[in-house]
Amino acid sequence: MQFPDYRPRRLRQNDAFRKMIRETSLSVNDLILPLFAIGGKNIQNPITSLPGHFQLSIDNLAKTATSAHQLGIPAVMLFGIPEHKDAMATSAYARDGIVQQATKALKDTIPDLAVITDVCLCQYTDHGHCGVVDCEIIDNDATLELLAKTALSHVQAGADMVAPSDMMDGRVAEIRDILDDNNFYHAPIMSYSAKYCSAYYGPFRNAADSAPKFGDRRTYQMDPGNVLEAIREVMLDIEEGADIIMVKPALAYLDIICRVREEIDLPLAAYNVSGEYAMIKAGEQMGWIDGPRIMMETLTAIKRAGADMILTYFAMDAAQVLSGSVDCEWQG
């Protein structure tokens, strides 16, 4: 078909036509809201690098999660900031750990809200790395048992799903085994399968107090230049029992999301990470960009690339736009 017989603009001339032929639609059901739990009562510490987000004591966490649930957001991802840190991350798998307490409170308060818990050790170790350290080397196999214990403790507290983000080899199988051995065979695993060593995580590390005290995470997180390695990582996690695969970050790795989508038929998540959120918020605050429109365009791009669900700090803002309670002419 060629001009003038075919004119693509015919189907762009009004909003009704544009809606009828729209290939990618964003829904509130696609959104997962990350939340940061901290000890104490009536605490709401602003996270300066994530405007609009806070470290929340469990009472305030429940209020925020309730608001998210009322907006139709189906799930939250819980991160914890513990009072105690040590070399073996004992607070990560303690029965009264911050994530364990927060999980129980959320399930008691909002039973229909899906609680997903991040399974990693970086927030709980005094050195800030995601695994056990031996002479400044991350000991992969010694870490697996601790990750599995952490995942089990989360599910015992009521978590609906666990999400290992550490990037240790073999951790999905270890977690699947311990859950099945304890009759939690129904609990799914959302694996951070293709998690890149990215500078986009900066604001999160400030929020979770999880920056490494020495070195970096390049020996376990992926090299940003690699594509085929991401496919191998994904396939390994599927073989080990992952139920949902995640790519992180999202915006700078849309090509990875697309490639993974072409290779697998499992549900695919993407994490619209803290740096991606912070840049848009900063541009909006400076008056340089239309923040709400760019937010929605960004989330639509992630969905268009192939993600079935998006973890995003924009979840509540986007849900308000999608519900029509906030005016934002982001399509058409």
pLDDT (tens digit per residue) in 278-327: 999 999 999 999 999 999 999 999 999 999 999 999 999 999 999 877 77
Among the residues of 36-91, which ranges form H helices?
58-70
Share of the chain above pLDDT 90, in %: 84
pLDDT tens across 205-264, in order?
Answer: 777 666 777 667 888 899 999 999 999 999 999 999 999 999 999 999 999 999 999 999
pLDDT tens across 34-89, in order?
Answer: 999 999 999 999 999 999 999 999 999 999 999 999 999 999 999 999 999 998 99
Rounded to the nearest 5°, which phi and psi values hold at 75?
-155, 155
The answer to whether 255 and 280 have CB atoms below 8 angstroms apart is no
Q: Considering the candidates 85, 149, 248, 303, report the single residue annotated as catalytic.
A: 248
pLDDT at 331: 65
Helix then strand count (H, E) for the chain reads 11, 12
**Domain regions of the chain by residue span:** 27-323
Among the residues of 71-201, which ranges form H helices?
98-109, 140-156, 171-181
The answer to whether 140 and 131 have CB atoms below 8 angstroms apart is yes
Mean pLDDT of the residues in the chain:
94
57 backbone φψ class: left, alpha, beta (φ>0; ψ -120 to 50): beta
pLDDT at 137: 85
Q: Considering the candidates 41, 85, 149, 195, report the single residue annotated as catalytic.
A: 195
Kindly tell me if the per-residue pLDDT of 1 is higher than 90: no
Average the pLDDT over 8-17 and give the result: 92
Is 195 a residue of the active site?
yes
pTM of the model: 0.95
- Tell which CATH architecture fits domain 27-323: Alpha-Beta Barrel (3.20)
Kindly tell me if the per-residue pLDDT of 332 is higher than 50: no
pLDDT at 208: 64
Listed range (121-125, 130-134, 206-210, 295-299) with the worst mean pLDDT:
206-210
